[in-house]
């Protein structure tokens, strides 16, 4: 449960620019879903079998309608002249919030139904151990630079094991689709994953590349081969470094200090 929650916070922020900094939005949806799931621990209708379908639906929706910045303005990114892609904010955010809550509610109800089989203190011990294990596993994958497909494979495998022999065709299709769409995103050659961000580099003009972080324009990388078109100030750091040919030509005579 904690592994999926962390994965959603990290992944949704990389594809929906509104969530890049306001990650508490996903956290609140998770809290709502987990609380509702535990309250339904003894309910007759079990939502856990629908966890795979809900998770796959959330991932597919976000990949079909990602929200990124098309151009950056000169002011603050959320208040300046920017043009986000995708659906309007008042459509995207409620749908994401609702789907996150449904996903976490389905998983949490499965956890609650398991906890009632143990004594309260034993269930609490398992809760703490499970939380720490989920956090440690996702943190390790993040610092290893693992892409989203790795997170999806782990979540899908655990759900498949928990469903066991009673897994249905719809659940199997949902889990396979979850891994497939995340694999498609992972195989995109313009994307790479740091411990914290989704980084994309693509060519916007000959010799000019754009570097985006979580869908937000971050830097423009341009060749300095043609110095006539490059601002001289860009060369100052290199000219002041000792041993640089621009500062210390091979035939130059240098007097030692002191």
Residue 254 has pLDDT above 50, yes or no: no
Whether 181 shows a pLDDT value over 50: the answer reads yes
Tens of pLDDT, residue by residue over 51-102, are 999 999 999 999 999 887 754 444 444 444 455 677 888 889 999 999 999 9
Tell me: the pLDDT tens digits for 146-180?
A: 999 999 999 999 999 999 999 999 999 999 999 99
Instruction: Report yes or no on 253 lying in a domain.
Output: no
DSSP string of 43-111, one letter each residue:
-SS--GGGHHHHHHHHHHHHHHS-B-BSS--SS-TTTSS--B-SS-HHHHHHHHHHHHHHHHHHHHHHH
| Cα separation, 60 vs 65, whole angstroms | 9
CA distance 164 to 168: 10
Distance CA(176)–CA(163), nearest Å, equals 14
Structural domain contains residue 103: yes
Rounded Cα–Cα distance for residues 70 and 93 (Å) = 19
Q: Residue 255 domain-assigned?
A: no
247 confidence band (pLDDT: 50, 70, 90): low
Q: List the 216-222 sheet strands across, edge first.
A: 191-193, 198-205, 208-213, 216-222
Instruction: Report residue 179 CA to chain centroid gap.
Output: 15
For residue 128, pLDDT beyond 90:
yes
Residue 244: inside a domain, yes or no? no
Q: How many domains, the chain?
A: 1
Mean pLDDT within 34-47: 91
Residue 8 pLDDT greater than 70, yes or no: yes
The range of the structural domain enclosing residue 28 comes to 2-190
- What does the pLDDT look like over 19-34, one tens digit per residue? 877 778 999 999 999 9
Question: Does residue 93 sit within a domain?
Answer: yes
């Amino acid at each position: 449960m904690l592994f999926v929650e962390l994965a959603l916070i990290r992944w949704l922020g990389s594809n929906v620019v509104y969530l890049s900094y306001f990650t508490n939005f996903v956290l609140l949806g998770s809290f709502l879903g987990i609380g509702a799931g535990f309250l339904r621990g003894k309910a007759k209708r079990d939502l856990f079998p629908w966890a795979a379908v809900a998770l796959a639906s959330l991932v597919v929706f976000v990949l079909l309608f990602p929200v990124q910045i098309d151009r950056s303005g000169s002011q603050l990114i959320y208040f300046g002249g920017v043009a986000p892609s995708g659906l309007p904010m008042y459509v995207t955010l409620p749908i994401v919030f609702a789907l996150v809550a449904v996903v976490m509610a389905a998983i949490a109800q499965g956890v609650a139904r398991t906890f009632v089989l143990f004594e309260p203190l034993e269930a609490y011990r398992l809760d703490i151990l499970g939380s720490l294990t989920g956090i440690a596993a996702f943190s390790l994958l993040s610092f290893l630079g693992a892409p989203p497909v790795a997170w999806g494979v782990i979540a899908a495998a655990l759900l498949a094991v928990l469903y066991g022999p009673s897994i249905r065709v719809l659940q199997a299709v949902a889990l396979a689709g979850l891994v497939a769409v995340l694999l498609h995103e992972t195989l995109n050659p313009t994307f790479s994953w740091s411990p914290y961000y989704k980084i994309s580099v693509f060519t916007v003009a000959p010799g000019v590349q754009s570097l985006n972080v979580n869908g937000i324009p971050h830097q423009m990388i341009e060749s300095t081969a043609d110095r006539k078109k490059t601002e001289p100030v860009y060369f100052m750091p290199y000219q002041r470094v000792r041993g640089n040919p621009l500062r210390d030509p091979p035939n130059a005579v240098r007097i030692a200090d002191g």
